[in-house]
Amino acid sequence: MKTTIIVSLMVLSAFLSQANTRKSISEGWKVGVAKADITPKNPMWLAGYASRTKVSEGAMHPLWAKCLFFQDAKGNSSALLTLDVVGISSEFGIDVRTEISRKTSIPLSNILINCSHTHSGPVLDQVLTSIYPLKESDKKEIVKYSKWLKETLIELSLRAHKDLEPVNLYAKNGVSRIQVNRRTNQEKDIDVLKELNGPNDFAVPTIKVETNKGNLKAVVFGYACHPTVLSGYQWSGDYAGFAQLELEKLYPGTAALFFQGAGGDQNPLPRRTIPLAKQYGKSLAAAVERVLNEEMTPLAGSFKSSAATIELGLSAAPSLSELKQIQKEAGQGYIYEWSSNLIGQYEAGKPLLRNYPNYPIQVWDFGGQKIISLGGEITIGYAVKLKEKYGDQIFVMGYTNDVMGYIPTELILEEGGYEGDTSQRAYGLPSKWAAGIESQILSKINDLMDAIN
C-alpha cells in the first residue's frame, strides 16, 4: 500500500513539474482578440469568378474580420488581422496598417493583414474590379464599402488591444488532405483519377491561445487551398468560413482565425456544392481540433520581426498591335477590358508598368515559431522549398498585405498556363513576371530570417 502511494505521488509530481515547465516556457504573453461582422449590408458584386453576371443575393453565413493583438514579455506588440475577402490592394493594406501603427505605436513590420481569398466575398476597390461589367452605382458602392472596411479594421485592432490579458501560446502543424494541385490534376477527371499528383503541402499550421485558467481564448489556423468550392451569389467564407464556424461551435466563446497559405495552385476538388463546402470545413476543423488536444509546443514569451519590400520585374508587354488583336478576339469580358485599358495607356502616351515596386515580405518569430508571410497568390512550390530549407514546422502565409497577382515558381513561369502566364490580366498587370522572381523572393526571405536569428 505504501509503495503504491509513493509511486502515485512520484507520477503526480512529475506531471505537475512538466505542467509548470510548460507554463514557464510560454508565460509572458498577453493577447487580446476582437471580431467584426463585415458582411455587406447592400447588394454588391462578389469577387473571384469572372463568370458572374450580377450582384449578391443575401448571405449563407456572415463574413468576418478578426484581430489578435499580441504582446510579449518585453512589451513588444504585434497584430494579426484575418478577413473573409478575396484580397486587398497595396494602398488598402498600407492605409490600414499605417493607421493601426499610429494609434498603437507598433511598427508596420509587426502588423499583418491576411485574406482568406474566399470567392464569395465582396469586390474591393482596386482589386479585380476590371473583370466585371460594373455600373457607376456599383463602383460607388465598392468604394464606399472599402472605406468602411478600412475603418472597421482599424477599430477592430484597437478593441483587440484593449482586450489584452495574460495567456500561454502553443503551436503545431496538423494535416488535412482537402487540397488538390489543379495544375497536375484536371477537375473534369477528379472522380475517376486513381492517383493525385503534386506538389502539395497538407499542413494545418495552428496556434493555441490559452488563458492562465486553461480556457481556450483563440485559435489561429491556416491552410493552403483556394476557397473556391462555392461559385453562387450568396456571401460566404467558403470552406474556410465553415471551418471557423465549426471551431467556434466546438469551443464556445473562442475566436477562430483562418489564414490562407500558399494555395495559389491548389483547389478543393470535387467542388461546386454547399454540402461539399461544409464537409471540407468540418474536415479542416477536425484537423485543428486534433492538434489542440495533442501535445503542442509552448512558445516562449518573445517576439521578433523583420520585413522588406522588393521590386519584381515584369516581362515585355504586348505591343499596341498585339493588344488590338487580343481585344478583337476577346469581344467582351475581362480580357477585353484589360486590353482596352492598355491600349488606352498606349494611345495616351503613358508608359506601361515594367515592374512591381513594392512586393511585401515579412518574417515573424513567436518564441521560436517562425511565420513567413508573402503578398500575392503564392503557389505551393514556395511552401515546399521554404520547408526544405527552414524545416517542416515553419508556417507560410500567402495573400498578406497586398494581393496583386499570382506568384509563380520559376517552373510554373516556364510552363506557362493560367498561374504562370495569363492570370496577371485579371489583376491589370500588362504582362507576366520576368524570369528570376523565385530567386529574388527566396533570397530576401533568407536575409530576413538571418536578421531575426
At 157, the amino acid letter reads S
DSSP 182: T
Q: Is the pLDDT of residue 1 over 80?
A: no
Q: What percentage of residues in the chain have a pLDDT greater than 90?
A: 89
pLDDT in tens, 182-209: 999 999 999 888 899 999 999 999 999 9
What is the pTM for the complete model shown? 0.92
pLDDT in tens, 214-267: 999 999 999 999 999 999 999 999 999 999 999 999 999 999 999 999 999 999
How confident is the prediction for the chain on average, in pLDDT?
93
pLDDT in tens, 279-296: 999 999 999 999 999 999
Are 413 and 435 within 8 A, CB to CB?
A: yes
Kindly state the average pLDDT of the residues 54-62: 97
- CB count, 10 Å around CB of 282? 17
Kindly state the average pLDDT of the residues 25-54: 93
Cα distances from 209 to residues 86, 255, 372, 382, in angstroms, run 26, 10, 20, 28
Q: Is the pLDDT of residue 25 over 70?
A: no
pLDDT in tens, 60-110: 999 999 999 999 999 999 999 999 999 999 999 999 999 999 999 999 999
- Alpha-carbon distance of 380 to 366, in angstroms, equals 23
Q: Is the pLDDT of residue 354 over 90?
A: yes
Q: How confident is the model at residue 129 (pLDDT cuts 50, 70, 90)?
A: confident
pLDDT of residue 9: 46
Mean pLDDT lowest among 31-40, 128-137, 226-235, 378-387: 128-137
Alpha helices in 163-259 (DSSP H): 238-250
Q: How confident is the model at residue 355 (pLDDT cuts 50, 70, 90)?
A: very high
Are 121 and 84 within 8 A, CB to CB?
A: yes
C-alpha cell, 99: 493607421
| Strand pairing report for 406-407 and 377-378 | parallel
Closest CA to 125 of 82, 153, 80, 86: 86
Query: Which is more confident, 24 or 26?
Result: 26
Strand-pair partners of 342: none
Residue where the block lists cell 495573400 = 399
Contacts of 253 (CB under 8 A, 6+ apart): 215
Q: How confident is the model at residue 301 (pLDDT cuts 50, 70, 90)?
A: very high
DSSP 314: B
Contacts of 107 (CB under 8 A, 6+ apart): 101, 305
Residue 347 φ/ψ, nearest 5 degrees: -70, -25
pLDDT in tens, 402-423: 999 999 999 999 999 999 999 9
Q: Is the pLDDT of residue 131 over 90?
A: no
Q: Is the pLDDT of residue 4 over 80?
A: no
Mean pLDDT lowest among 3-17, 21-35, 109-123: 3-17
C-alpha cell, 410: 520559376
Could you tell me if residue 3 is left (phi over 0), alpha (psi between -120 and 50 degrees) or otherwise beta? alpha
Q: How confident is the model at residue 333 (pLDDT cuts 50, 70, 90)?
A: confident
Are 32 and 157 within 8 A, CB to CB?
A: no
Cα distances from 269 to residues 160, 225, 231, 341, in angstroms, run 36, 10, 13, 35
pLDDT of residue 332: 82
pLDDT of residue 130: 84
- Alpha-carbon distance of 380 to 382, in angstroms, equals 5
pLDDT of residue 22: 46
Alpha-carbon dihedral angle through residues 137, 138, 143, 146, given to the nearest 10 degrees: 140
Strand-pair partners of 64: 37
Q: Is the pLDDT of residue 176 over 50?
A: yes
Q: Is the pLDDT of residue 11 over 50?
A: no
Closest CA to 421 of 403, 440, 435: 435
Q: Is the pLDDT of residue 14 over 50?
A: no
pLDDT of residue 194: 87
Omega of the bond leading into 360 within 30 degrees of 0 (cis)? no
* Domain locations along the chain: 26-309+356-452, 318-352
- Alpha-carbon distance of 150 to 266, in angstroms, equals 29
